[in-house]
Amino acid sequence: MEISVVVPLKNEEESLPELAAWIDRVCQNANLTYEIVMVDDGSNDTSWKIIEELHASNNRVRGIKFRRNYGKSAALHTAFQVVQGDVVITMDADLQDSPDEIPALYKMIKEEGYDLVSGWKKKRYDPISKTLPTKLFNAATRWMSGIQLHDFNCGLKAYRLDVVKAIEVYGEMHRYIPVIAKWAGFPRIGEKVVEHRSRKYGSTKYGGWDRFINGPLDLMSISFVGKFGKRPMHFFGMLGMLSFFIGFCILLYLSISKTLFQEYGIADRPLFYFGILALIIGSQLFLTGFIAELINRNSSIRNNYLIEKEI
Ligand code: UDP
Ligand code: MG
């Protein structure tokens, strides 16, 4: 099989038949063998029923139904475990991404040797409340990761099969897949300008104010995990050593000045408390480092999702 199209969706009943027909048309015309994996991420409309109908009329359409809503990252991760196509293409269900881009994306992976190609919605059809935060987000992510993409969060992306099998997407990390891929050892990341359309049916699932808090937090944890995920002690140990050393020096200085110059009681000096505090924080950081290392040794519980049905 040449292409797997992965579609995470929540409450997109109106779009699905049109999307499936469109993908089918494009792939047939380009002579590409394909499958579509639709992941129903806890919809409470008739999305799953529609997926079942689409599957009945075209067995290239597969479906996975989550028991509840786990989020887009979970949906992508679960689909990545079952896909089989040489090139995996992810696409939003709301018809904002155009299936017409599939053949060109396929070609970039197959012939130009990219590990990952990310879509770039150069001209966006979204309200300014979405486009402005996105600009900030992209600038911060570029700066932090060193990957020169204009549009990290574009739902339309193409991957070589072994890339999706190797990376782990969890939490809200779907926004940072290029960063995760780079750190996993897939540095050839390309970009393609793609056509973007305004939402035809339904409404956005990512319009809330919590994006402004969660986005920066995710960026911090992704860069932390990327740098120190496999060796947390290097992070905590370094800070702990620094803090411990500062505390030690302060207390040493206080003890010496007390013995040599018979100063008044060292407990009267504010510096004394600072020294003690630094010592305690230092040892706490060390302990945190050890605990992080222990957790690291047996952490495989991140991606556990209850699947209700699979077709
Ligand atoms: N989505 C999902 N789970 C969620 C939220 C969204 O699978 O919890 C899907 C949604 O159905 C759509 C895609 O993720 O196919 C992108 O969501 P949306 O279009 O609402 O985001 P926007 O384009 O507004 O950023
Ligand atoms: Mg959308």
Note the maximum CA span of the chain: 92
Distance 154 CA to ligand 1 centre (A): 11
- Using DSSP, state whether 41 is helix, strand or coil: coil
Confidence of residue 216 (pLDDT cuts 50, 70, 90): confident
According to the model, what pLDDT value does residue 181 have?
94
Give me the torsion for CA of 8, 107, 24, 116, rounded to 10°: 0
According to the model, what pLDDT value does residue 51 have?
98
86 close to 138: Cβ distance less than 8 angstroms: no
Residue identifier of the C-alpha nearest atom 22 of ligand 1 = 204
Pairing label, strands 157-160, 189-193: unpaired
Tokens 């860069």 locate to 223
Query: Which residues' Cβ are closer than 6 Å to ligand 1?
Result: 8-10, 12, 41, 69, 71-72, 75, 92-94, 96, 155, 204-206
**pLDDT(264) > 90:** no
* 33 Cβ neighbours under 8 A, 6+ residues apart: 1, 2, 3, 27, 85
Average pLDDT for residues 8-21, to the nearest whole number?
A: 96
Distance 72 CA to ligand 1 centre (A): 7
Residue identifier of the C-alpha nearest atom 10 of ligand 1 = 9
Average pLDDT for residues 44-61, to the nearest whole number?
A: 97
Residue count of the chain: 311
- Using DSSP, state whether 292 is helix, strand or coil: helix
Q: At what angle do helices 232-261 and 211-228 cross, to 10 degrees?
A: 80
Distance 183 CA to ligand 1 centre (A): 25
Please report which helix (H) or strand (E) contains residue 211, including its range: helix 211-228
The structure's pTM equals 0.84
Residue identifier of the C-alpha nearest atom 8 of ligand 1 = 71
Distance 38 CA to ligand 1 centre (A): 13
Which tens digits make up the pLDDT trace of 178-215?
A: 999 998 899 999 999 999 988 888 888 887 788 778 77
- Using DSSP, state whether 255 is helix, strand or coil: helix
Distance 188 CA to ligand 1 centre (A): 27
What number does the ligand 1 atom closest to the CA of 96 have?
A: 23
Q: How far is CA 215 from the centre of its chain?
A: 11
Report the alpha-carbon distance of residue 239 to residue 178 in Å, rounded: 29
